[in-house]
């Protein structure tokens, strides 16, 4: 048996338990928190593939902190959710720093087909995608966290690493820009 095998077997012997949380507990946590986090990542990144990658990376990091040497203090549901959003937002920024903002491509094909259905929800879906594409990355994040996740300025500040006062101003500007982008579409529909 090689050294790599020995260590891999040792680490693999605890597949039912990674970093102090067992698979069933993780599944329950994932079922409660993954979907809103994934939707946030899809809209903030503009790419489903990237959102999948970042979601996976977010939970890997969460699990590695869960039982590591610098273990997390016990967290309630809201704190866990906020922590997951913070990791995801950090990873998103990291990805933008590495590869710029050229990731908004792969939803195009899927959503082009959806236009033909023209359900009200699908029309709103296309509108939001168009608006998000026109906004800066930081604006997308702040708008989504405030208007979909219902987070207040302090919560958004904790997740994005910005000051609460800056969030207030940035949210105001992002909202004005989003409203301007949505208005022609709204008028056309009306």
Partner 1 sequence: MPCAFEIETIRASQTGSASPELLRHQQGCPHCGEALQIARIFHQDAEYLSEHAAPPPAAQVWAAAGRRRRAIALERATILLRVLKASGLVYAAVFILWAAHALANLHEGFVPPVLDGKALNASLEGAVLAALCVGIGLCYTLRGDRPPTR
- Where do contacts with partner 1 occur on this chain (CB under 8 A)? 2-5, 7-8, 10-12, 15, 18-19, 23, 26-27, 30-31, 34-39, 42-43, 48, 51-52, 55-56, 59-60, 63-64, 114, 120-122, 124-125, 127-129, 143-144, 146-148, 150-153, 168-169, 171-172, 175, 178-179, 182
How many angstroms separate the CA atoms of 51 and 107, rounded? 11
Closer to partner 1 at the Cβ: 96 or 122? Answer: 122
Residue 156 · residue 167 · CB < 8 Å: yes
Closer to partner 1 at the Cβ: 15 or 70? Answer: 15
Closer to partner 1 at the Cβ: 98 or 117? Answer: 117
Closer to partner 1 at the Cβ: 30 or 96? Answer: 30
Residue 179 · residue 185 · CB < 8 Å: no
Secondary element (H or E) of residue 21: strand 21-22
Contacts of 63 (CB under 8 A, 6+ apart): 18, 19, 21, 26
């Amino acid at each position: 048996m090689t050294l790599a095998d020995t260590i891999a077997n040792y680490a693999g012997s605890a597949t039912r338990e990674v970093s102090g949380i067992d698979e069933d507990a993780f599944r329950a946590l994932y079922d409660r928190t993954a979907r809103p986090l994934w939707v946030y990542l899809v809209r903030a990144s503009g790419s489903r593939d990237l959102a999948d990658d970042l979601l996976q990376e977010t939970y890997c990091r969460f699990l590695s902190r869960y039982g590591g040497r610098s273990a997390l203090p016990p967290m309630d549901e809201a704190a866990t959710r906020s922590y997951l959003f913070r990791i995801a937002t950090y990873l998103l920024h990291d990805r933008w720093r590495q590869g710029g903002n050229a990731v908004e491509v792969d939803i195009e094909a899927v959503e082009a087909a959806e236009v033909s259905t023209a359900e009200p929800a699908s029309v709103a879906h296309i509108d939001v995608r168009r608006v998000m594409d026109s906004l800066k990355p930081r604006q997308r994040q702040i708008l989504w966290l405030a208007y979909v996740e219902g987070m207040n300025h302090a919560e958004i500040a904790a997740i994005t690493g910005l000051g609460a006062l800056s969030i207030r101003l940035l949210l105001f500007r992002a909202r004005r820009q989003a409203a301007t982008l949505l208005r022609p579409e709204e008028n056309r529909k009306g």
